[in-house]
Structure 1
């Protein structure tokens, strides 16, 4: 057990006890991206004892399990003409040409081999009659490219990765909340966390830190995550350490989240997988109209998520929604046997709630689902801070202005492999450095954490967090305008004042965790609002009613940095150019023919 030294010339001479954990590589986040990184490290010769994976929840309980629809890779099982260049072209098209083409090509090139690798590791894919990995259409893709395991693909993926990691004896530590990345002179030194079971502080001494801590859609009032997930840990931790954020204005609202009193409050916003539409589900308004004929007569329900989400929002706004503020999604025409086989978890979920999908529609409305923005990284996943990497939903660049369905899981495992390879090479080339006087770098934050616990303020952290969620939903939701964004930025100031006067329990309490989440949330919400205000056009998931069209001059990424005095500074940077092979696929203009699903 260690103690922090006095801080600030003795003005706070009390000491704080903490545990020190020394590893060459610290992976923060135990979902698919973090697990795949750790696996790659060990398979490339890094001693498992030099690696530690930490997560906020029990091992194997990560947001990955909620990704049900599928994982993309151009295997060509059913459509042999498909290949990685067409997958890349679809990704760039869906991203409205704001993606980093190099990162897109990295993911799409690697995915066929990674799907085969996952098959070798025991992932339980759904199969064709001949025993091959089955694939299906998944919103706005040109071919059947989405591999799946029923409608529980994320769960099957994480199970396979956890089994592989355990077979390699990769150490992990669960229920640890990492609240600060330690860095000095542009180089990462480690991290500080709290063991949520014991309340003990932990200081991690690490040469390399990999952030695989998820995204930021849990900051919205209606969202598809559990309430303690995707609360902006990853982007905020990186930004506080000196990294740059990018594309934060692009938040994907999945068209079909659960809505309606019959489901209960705990299910509000939970995802009804896109696979329901991929398997032929149809959308109807309260008047019984199949309304996508008005908005996308060719692709219908399988158009891009932003198109379908805005269509549903428009139907509801125009008074054609249900009493609960939703529309109906109906797949009953496909028959009971088909639904039970292809969508087993969805069928079971709704059956438990008293709804038979084989007999009646389910009620849905848009829900915040994925943040395309995140931390700006290089081709190997490294941030502006030497030794700090960010992957999975924490990173930006792959998805551009809107994410292609099935690409989120693909990104996690593809970049897990890429970053694991890069870090393994880095460790082989460098001596172990160890951070001198690590406690001094951690001291101020440790004292702040100690002061936060048991603080006797006025406001409940969970209540302030809920108000933040409402603010983002109201001011930077599906439809945005200048007045709303300005009001949102101004509203954050009042929330910051309340956040400085919190009533918090001990370090094992839910209120302590909410207070830490709130700090991340305020920072990240500011970046989202300011980036949305900066982009005076509509592109992908970012729709400005006062600037409804996309403009060529805005084919640039909005980047967010902290300036020399700690103020949030926004600028733009140009987008790269696809390779000749991918450009050729773009020029050929592949597009999904909706009739193939009828």
Structure 2
């Protein structure tokens, strides 16, 4: 053995870890990750060469909290709807900074993919003649949101997990991936640890798929579980050298739970848009149906950014409730209708002592979805060869504001697209897929050494407390309304947190403090990208509202791209947006638009 080889072997022995050798590693076990893995195997990839890893138990992912529905132009009720109108609605809602090619990929594929899910056993709600039912959702020109009551995400994930299990796709639970390993612009694998045992793990993989969700849990009020959507996917990609885009665009859903009667654990939890899609009405504390002032044609079903800002204005001008919210009322519908169409919402509020058939619920905006994410090409591949990103981890589909019902659609469509592309790569055989095993293990050993030094560190700062402080900073300084002074103060506050994060009090890898320390490392980069992107974009567009630049600016029909420079600093540039296809432009020019009053 040569001296360099001996030195490398000694370094590996200094920090013990398990090595898992495979073809494709999928990080994230929600709908996007599951659908990608399913497509790989259905395209002929051996299940033994695929592994899906998740931070939680199998089937327990944020997808289950997407309740209202999934879009696809089936035309069940409105036969004049088609994929081009769906694309036009998506681009209009995204304020024309979407990637038109990615929009078309989703909208073209979704009708067939909805029917495929039906074949796999998805328990859709049905029309009287047995067709897949579809409902109105905000800013959609036609009824194109397919649904399973108000538990669509849960039913979707159960369907996908069942399909994956029938294909014998391997899955490993309670795995936290902490670093991607790349060399010379190509992915080599990923490092992490087992959250149950604390043991370090190295995944040696030809291809890695990031399907790890978004970043809205980095806000104080949010609609996610606290330990999900903490920015893992975008941060892993960015720290490995991939670019991010559109990070300043954070959607605040109009209707998150608020009020002492619900308790702190429910603060910010989503009240699905399906409540408004089924006719729910918004009232201020004075009993006024205030959307008549802001959007008399689309009312409560206008775009999410419009409704969220309207609610925020009502509250700021003193017409909100004592708890800082407004009222959402669907009591004009029959109890039987509510229980059939909105069963989970009805049960949740009934358990909290609220009868939706006779009284309103209190709501206020909550951070809900990050439109930004990793820059990918037409099939989901990032700047790093062999590294893909799908679902909420990727950027491009949603532009400045996501159309309701498109999140689940994106996970399914790009899961299929990425799966097809990776299967082609596997079949073709990639001569560059030599793992450069010594490089992989040496870099992993350095990373595990840094993690080992963090174990039982007795610093001055609690990672959970710093994480909560970061959440408060984003809520205060990069919330629904922003300006230059507020954003600058947010960057200063973030820098202070980053300095203190180098001196943490941390337990062993099975502890919550260790998990928070890992989350904090991701969150600092993602939060900085949000604040810097919002500072650079000197206009208001979609979910990004600058009070010092209240209008949109045609010169800003561009995307903000975030990259890591050679010394580890954050570098921002912009790039022009492509034009839509002729077919979609025709639909845009036609000016289709939902008329709320069709519901009445």
Q: Which residue of 1 aligns with 2:337?
A: 338
- From the superposition, tell whether residues 172 and 81 of structure 1 become closer, same or farther in structure 2 (CA, over 3 Å): same
> Structure 1 CA distance, aligned partners of 2:316 and 2:13?
57
1:502-581 map, 5 Å: 502-581=504-583
Task: Provide the secondary structure at the position in 1 that maps to 2:261.
Answer: helix
Aligned to 1:129: 128
Q: Distance in 2 between matches of 1:493 and 1:13?
A: 34
For the Cα contact (< 8 Å) 1:5–1:15, is it kept in 2?
Answer: no
Task: Identify the residue that residue 118 of structure 1 maps to in structure 2.
Answer: 117
1:285-329 per-residue CA deviation (whole Å, 9 max, x = no partner) reads: 011110111111110000000000000000110011101000000
| Shift in alpha-carbon separation, 1:6–1:341, aligned structure 2, 3 A | farther
Q: Deviations over 1:455-495 (max 9, x none)?
A: 11111111100000000000000000000000001111110
Q: Quick check: 1:7–1:444 contact (8 Å CA) kept in 2?
A: no
1:375 corresponds to = 374
Structural mapping, 1:375-394, within 5 Å: 375-394=374-393
Q: Is the 1:5–1:13 contact (alpha carbons within 8 Å) kept by the matching residues of 2?
A: no
**Following the alignment from structure 1 to structure 2, what is the Cα–Cα distance between the partners of residues 439 and 553?**
47
Take 2:58 and 2:125, find their aligned partners in 1: how far apart are those partners? 25
When residues 144 and 195 of structure 1 are mapped into structure 2, their CA distance, relative to the original with a 3 A threshold, is same
SS at match of 1:333: coil
Task: Provide the secondary structure at the position in 1 that maps to 2:206.
Answer: strand
Give the C-alpha shift of residue 335 in structure 1.
1.4
1:109-188 matches, cutoff 5 A: 109-188=108-187
The 8 Å contact of residues 372 and 403 in structure 1, kept in 2 or not, is answered as yes
Residues 365-390 of structure 1 show CA distances to partners (whole Å, capped at 9, x for unaligned) of 00000000000100000000000000
CA distance in structure 2 between the partners assigned to 1:390 and 1:218 by the alignment: 19
Q: Deviations over 1:50-95 (max 9, x none)?
A: 0000000001000000000000000000101100000000000000
Change beyond 3 A, Cα 1:5–1:196: farther
Q: Does 1:435 align with 2:444?
A: no
Q: Give 1:314's aligned residue.
A: 313
Corresponding residue SS for 1:411: helix
Residues 259 and 267 of structure 2 are in contact (CA less than 8 Å); yes or no, is this contact kept in structure 1?
Answer: yes
> What is aligned with 1:472?
474
Matched residues in 1 for 2:264 and 2:273: separation?
Answer: 21
C-alpha separation in 2, matches of 1:400 and 1:31: 22
Q: Which residue of the partner structure matches residue 423 of structure 2?
A: 424
1:73 paired with 2:75, answer no
Q: Is the 8 A contact 1:118 1:160 kept in 2?
A: yes
* Contact 1:100 1:398 (8 Å CA) reproduced: yes
Are residue 410 (structure 1) and residue 409 (structure 2) matched? yes
Q: Which residue pairs with 1:328 in the alignment?
A: 327
Aligned to 1:248: 247
Give the Cα–Cα distance (whole angstroms) in 2 for the partners of residues 73 and 303 of structure 1: 19
Cα offset, 1:13, TM superposition: 9.6
- Identify the residue that residue 261 of structure 1 maps to in structure 2: 260
Does the 8 Å contact 2:98/2:396 carry over to 1?
Answer: yes
Aligned-partner Cα distance in 1 for 2:437–2:65: 41
Bigger shift: residues 122-131 or 559-568: 559-568
Per the alignment, residue 193 of structure 2 pairs with 194
Query: Partner of 1:214 in structure 2?
Result: 213
Secondary structure in structure 2 of the residue aligned to 1:570: strand
C-alpha contact 1:72 1:407 (8 A) present in aligned 2: yes
**Alignment gaps of 5+ in structure 2:** none
> CA separation in 2, counterparts of 1:434 and 1:29?
22
SS at match of 1:26: strand
Instruction: Tell me the TM-score normalized by structure 2.
Output: 0.98
Q: Classify the secondary structure of the residue corresponding to 1:262.
A: coil
Paired residue for 2:27?
A: 28
Aligned equivalents of 2:181 and 2:541: distance in 1?
Answer: 36
How many angstroms does 1:439 deviate by?
A: 1.3
Using a 3 Å threshold, how does the CA distance of structure 1 residues 9 and 18 change in structure 2: closer, same or farther? closer
CA deviation vs aligned residue, 1:123-146 (integer Å, no higher than 9, x gap): 000000000000010001000000
In the alignment, the residues of structure 1 paired with residue 469 and residue 246 of structure 2 have an alpha-carbon distance, to the nearest angstrom, of 24
Q: Deviations 1:340-375 (Å, cap 9, x if unpaired)? A: 000000000000000000010000000000000000
CA shift, 1:434, in A, is 3.2
In the alignment, is residue 276 of structure 1 matched against residue 278 of structure 2?
no
CA RMSD of aligned residues (A): 1.4
* Alpha-carbon shift at residue 8 of structure 1 (Å): 11
2:202 corresponds to: 203
8 Å CA contact 1:111, 1:410 repeated in 2: yes
Q: CA deviation at 1:7?
A: 8.5
Aligned-residue offset at 1:433: 2.8
Q: Answer yes or no: is the 8 Å Cα contact 1:298–1:593 preserved in 2.
A: yes
CA contact (8 A) 1:5 1:440 kept: no
Report if aligned partners of 2:8, 2:442 keep a CA contact under 8 Å in 1. no
TM-score, structure 1 as length reference: 0.98
Structure 1 segments unaligned to the other structure (5+ residues): none
